[in-house]
Structure 1
């Protein structure tokens, strides 16, 4: 018997942890298991072809909000090609209303909740060693009936099997790992709130497994633990171990900033620059709204710890906001954005509330007048406090923030514009409206157009001369792009005489096969240090690694 563990990931660079857990937990059994990973950007016809060519007896799909519709279509196509291939679903998107899901979709089985033990017993059933009625956590089709054998108790994490193979190729992949399951908090929009308690793996085992990633020189390991730092000693042991490793591997953690202890911050002070990335779920800075979603914390506590971490200057922080939360209106969200922006984290993520199946937020939707899509990902459309059109405006802001702020490639340009608006939100809002007026939301635009937009925005919206701005844009462009690709509208105006004089003066110090000479009409160094724009001809050398040397 052959089971094809099939993952349709949201991006090519992602790896699927669930299918690896399932295969690893059953690798000692007398069956053939194989993993195939695709992405939602692949053509369905190609995925179907690859699945059928494997000649599986069972196709096991890992199902999430981002792929459930595609998976449903693939299951239908598989059955049309070969009705003898059985379809097994698992994952968070099918674990809540599993019986209804199987009634409404092509397929044969659904695993509810944690899948390792249920799959193992399912394989025993397929091998003729167990009755299907004895398998807890399994929904199955029998004749025209849909049956469910009841929920399975949560397993001990000591029982799980390390999901990665020794010879597995993880180059250019984001690798996922979990040291714990569960969450101590009960946020109403999150499915983790439906399962109480946190289970931890043995710490010695965790450290041994993390060494595997270090030895394989994995680029990025993302911990999927819902609140990584909820256990002080556990988090300290892992951070201390990773700090001491000689590695370029980066590690990403979701943390709750307000519960960070001073001892943890002192330890993190020793982390090599870029070793750790922290994702902090702020969601809103309105304390009343935080309480509406069962987050009994004040933003001031979150801010205090985030600012402390930023002062270390060695950990990249990603702060999340969610639009459409119960009780929050447009102005409140605007304030939340400005509050978070004032901290100046490396990234700000503007998300939109999703009313997941089984979440208490969905159960309370009528109380808050929430209208949301009945189709995955179940995103909010409006509430009693914020309209559909206001959410559309926030989506424009989200696009501008993601492209211009989060990329880190426009920082000096953004600093030029912030003082010209009452708040940073007002700037991104205005820029988004201008972006829309140019029709850029309706088509892909090239890299150079992202820079030119600022010049056009200054001319048409601010009605200001953009001569000085052009110098800042040119500097930032050259920091992140190759000089040979610089567009005509950003080229400098250095004369041949000026260039000849500088080369003669510096010929003994620098090779002009490696360096280019750039001229600016403002003092770029002064602008970088204090934000002041001072008219002054300044010269610099630029090499192919985008390094500037000011003369």
Structure 2
């Protein structure tokens, strides 16, 4: 029997202990479509690779794991955040298992995304929703039949070139045609993770920046009876938080009755829920029903305060209505996410500033998330980008670079102005992983440059490691070993290029600018990726980071510390005890380096004092137990 392994790589989190939110719903849905119903494909066995594997393993380890059984087929779900790593994984699987056919799909895979289509390593690209055509495709592949009559695909020719996409088949099938993967066994509920589900596909709104109208313009809903049956099943399986992926949750017919039915199932309040709404039609009565049903978080998209811009991007709506509904929901005790997009066609820097002030004046500033426009594949905005005068990255995150009303600098300035007005950072800080090594672990390696030979260190650095790991360099004189260090770093980067890696230099002496610049150049020598581009406007790299750790009691001059305290090339930490960190907690990360606190047996009062006084991102721990506690308890990096 032939096998297909379906894989979804996670959103790379900002911290080792942050949740990935990885729920391979698409993979599970495709697997279900193959093995259910009258046309069950009995000659193919589907497997969804568990998030516990994809979230933990690094590039080399994961590709070896998948390729080791030499599956006939591998399918990869491509999203904004995992596209480049998925394509790298495809190439590595091909190297290790040349006969395996690689399929890619997801919102990134479209005829208007040349970045994807020019890549190699995969055999077939599938666009749009696929449950209705996937069985047909896989039947043809298993039976080695021609692919010429299969809709929504492009495949690689014998010459190695990708052909054009075949005829597009609209996804108009009822959602009841294919069972939920939670009921077929391809996805299991993990109470520690959110549980994702769809009860609507398609969207009545036609926002030009959004993929949903392209995916399906017809609103297809899972009826109330079937949805309640699914929710009841998820509850029985232990679900704690339901995340509805419906494009606009309150667009379904009979919405009030739907909420009443959910409230009945969730009368004990076992589950909390999240969804995205349009403000139109939300009344105080409806807000009360949302709360009663268990919704503790709601997202509302204002997008712009400029009504002409809202018309231009076919969002429409009224900012005043958004604010009114936001206050009604907040009055019910529901937390909010309020969206403002920077760089929409028609908007100016003044509109962004007015938008932030608008939220502040309505007392809603704490919930605002402002972010730059991404010109996504498959959207009307990408189709009209040239006409609109939009320049954007051709690679993820496809962020707008310039518009007729925004220069590149003005886009950055608007983002930083929003942060100044809201008095907080709007994106997550790339937190280094500095915890102590554990026996048998594969998330930290220590390279002793003085006591081990170059070949020993090179062998160690080529070991497959976890998705996020640290590489520690130890030496009494780093300056004389820069050639060796650069060589070792390149070997590590080549082994796991898309892993999140912290390169740590523990020193009791100041490091020269020449050395630091050379190491930074080596670290950034690989081609850029989504993670390295996401915070490029801050000169921060979420993929590969360099850390200089000053050893406890080191006598490095204060002028060197001051000079390098805000260096964008690396993070500066000082090893210290909890008592030492508390003695100057307010200055950590400002006048003083970040604190790397050794030990784990802290007085509860000291712990609480540190939480109150220090910037939480300016504190890290050698203890895994304490680092995890800080990440979850103080930084809020949990799932449920």
Check whether the contact 2:124–2:153 (CA below 8 A) recurs between aligned residues. Answer: yes
Q: Is residue 383 from structure 1 mapped to residue 403 from structure 2 by the alignment?
A: yes
Q: Is residue 135 from structure 1 mapped to residue 143 from structure 2 by the alignment?
A: no
Per-residue deviation, 1:367: 3.9
> Alpha carbons of 1:131 and 1:458: their partners in 2 closer, same or farther (altered >3 Å)?
closer
Give the Cα–Cα distance (whole angstroms) in 2 for the partners of residues 322 and 452 of structure 1.
Answer: 38
The residue number in structure 2 matching 1:83 is: 98
Summarize the alignment of residues 33-48 of structure 1 with structure 2, pairs less than 5 Å apart.
33-36=46-49, 37=51, 43-48=58-63
The residue number in structure 2 matching 1:158 is: 176
Per-residue deviation, 1:451: 13
Summarize the alignment of residues 225-240 of structure 1 with structure 2, pairs less than 5 Å apart.
225-233=246-254, 235-240=255-260
> Alpha carbons of 1:96 and 1:212: their partners in 2 closer, same or farther (altered >3 Å)?
farther
- Gap runs ≥5 in structure 2: 13-19, 429-538, 540-562, 592-602, 614-632, 635-640
Segment of structure 1 superposing worse, 187-196 or 220-229: 187-196
Residue by residue, what CA displacement relative to the aligned partner does 1:396-427 show, whole Å, maximum 9, x if unpaired?
466776966899xxxxxxxxxxxxxxxxxxxx
Summarize the alignment of residues 527-542 of structure 1 with structure 2, pairs less than 5 Å apart.
none
> Alpha carbons of 1:357 and 1:40: their partners in 2 closer, same or farther (altered >3 Å)?
farther
| Aligned positions, number | 443
Q: Is residue 362 from structure 1 mapped to residue 382 from structure 2 by the alignment?
A: yes
Check whether the contact 1:139–1:147 (CA below 8 A) recurs between aligned residues. Answer: yes
Q: Report SS of the residue matched to 1:56.
A: coil
Segment of structure 1 superposing worse, 142-151 or 179-188: 142-151
Check whether the contact 1:349–1:398 (CA below 8 A) recurs between aligned residues. Answer: no
Segment of structure 1 superposing worse, 449-458 or 161-170: 449-458
Residue by residue, what CA displacement relative to the aligned partner does 1:113-150 show, whole Å, maximum 9, x if unpaired?
11112221122113328643332222223423625441
Summarize the alignment of residues 387-406 of structure 1 with structure 2, pairs less than 5 Å apart.
387-396=407-416
The residue number in structure 2 matching 1:412 is: none
Which residue of 597, 600, 607 maps to 1:485?
607
> Alpha carbons of 1:441 and 1:15: their partners in 2 closer, same or farther (altered >3 Å)?
farther
The residue number in structure 1 matching 2:271 is: 249
The residue number in structure 1 matching 2:347 is: 328
The residue number in structure 2 matching 1:525 is: none
> Alpha carbons of 1:148 and 1:356: their partners in 2 closer, same or farther (altered >3 Å)?
closer
The residue number in structure 2 matching 1:3 is: 4
Give the Cα–Cα distance (whole angstroms) in 1 for the partners of residues 582 and 241 of structure 2.
Answer: 28
Q: Which structure's relative contact order is higher, taking Cα pairs within 8 Å and 6+ residues apart? A: 2
Q: What is the TM-score normalised by the length of structure 2?
A: 0.62
Q: Report SS of the residue matched to 2:385.
A: coil
Q: Report SS of the residue matched to 1:214.
A: helix
Give the Cα–Cα distance (whole angstroms) in 2 for the partners of residues 42 and 394 of structure 1.
Answer: 38
> Alpha carbons of 1:386 and 1:104: their partners in 2 closer, same or farther (altered >3 Å)?
same
> Alpha carbons of 1:65 and 1:456: their partners in 2 closer, same or farther (altered >3 Å)?
closer
Q: Report SS of the residue matched to 2:219.
A: strand
Give the Cα–Cα distance (whole angstroms) in 2 for the partners of residues 169 and 266 of structure 1.
Answer: 28
> Alpha carbons of 1:166 and 1:93: their partners in 2 closer, same or farther (altered >3 Å)?
closer
The residue number in structure 1 matching 2:625 is: none
Check whether the contact 1:121–1:130 (CA below 8 A) recurs between aligned residues. Answer: no
> Alpha carbons of 1:365 and 1:127: their partners in 2 closer, same or farther (altered >3 Å)?
closer
Q: Report SS of the residue matched to 1:236.
A: helix
Per-residue deviation, 1:193: 2.5
Give the Cα–Cα distance (whole angstroms) in 2 for the partners of residues 248 and 451 of structure 1.
Answer: 43
Q: Is residue 265 from structure 1 mapped to residue 301 from structure 2 by the alignment?
A: no
Q: Report SS of the residue matched to 2:22.
A: coil
Give the Cα–Cα distance (whole angstroms) in 2 for the partners of residues 458 and 323 of structure 1.
Answer: 29
Segment of structure 1 superposing worse, 78-87 or 258-267: 258-267
Which residue of 422, 425, 439 maps to 2:566?
439
**Bigger radius of gyration, 1 or 2?**
1
Check whether the contact 1:3–1:32 (CA below 8 A) recurs between aligned residues. Answer: yes
Residue by residue, what CA displacement relative to the aligned partner does 1:49-82 show, whole Å, maximum 9, x if unpaired?
2211242111101011211111121222222222
Check whether the contact 2:30–2:134 (CA below 8 A) recurs between aligned residues. Answer: yes
Segment of structure 1 superposing worse, 110-119 or 342-351: 342-351
Which residue of 109, 115, 135 maps to 1:120?
135
Give the Cα–Cα distance (whole angstroms) in 2 for the partners of residues 441 and 279 of structure 1.
Answer: 33
> Over aligned residues, Cα RMSD in angstroms?
3.7
The residue number in structure 2 matching 1:218 is: 239
Segment of structure 1 superposing worse, 30-39 or 80-89: 30-39
Give the Cα–Cα distance (whole angstroms) in 1 for the partners of residues 583 and 344 of structure 2.
Answer: 34
Check whether the contact 2:115–2:395 (CA below 8 A) recurs between aligned residues. Answer: no
Q: What is the TM-score normalised by the length of structure 1?
A: 0.71
The residue number in structure 1 matching 2:619 is: none
Q: Report SS of the residue matched to 1:124.
A: helix
Residue by residue, what CA displacement relative to the aligned partner does 1:452-498 show, whole Å, maximum 9, x if unpaired?
89779999xxxxxxxxxxxxxxxxxxxxx95332457978xxxxxxx
Give the Cα–Cα distance (whole angstroms) in 2 for the partners of residues 301 and 489 of structure 1.
Answer: 38
Per-residue deviation, 1:442: 5.8
* Structure 1 or 2: more helix by fraction: 1
Residue by residue, what CA displacement relative to the aligned partner does 1:306-327 show, whole Å, maximum 9, x if unpaired?
22222222x1111111111112
The residue number in structure 2 matching 1:188 is: 208
- Gap runs ≥5 in structure 1: 408-431, 460-480, 492-544, 547-551
Per-residue deviation, 1:286: 1.8
The residue number in structure 1 matching 2:535 is: none
> Alpha carbons of 1:454 and 1:437: their partners in 2 closer, same or farther (altered >3 Å)?
farther
> Alpha carbons of 1:356 and 1:40: their partners in 2 closer, same or farther (altered >3 Å)?
farther
Per-residue deviation, 1:47: 1.8
Check whether the contact 1:318–1:349 (CA below 8 A) recurs between aligned residues. Answer: yes
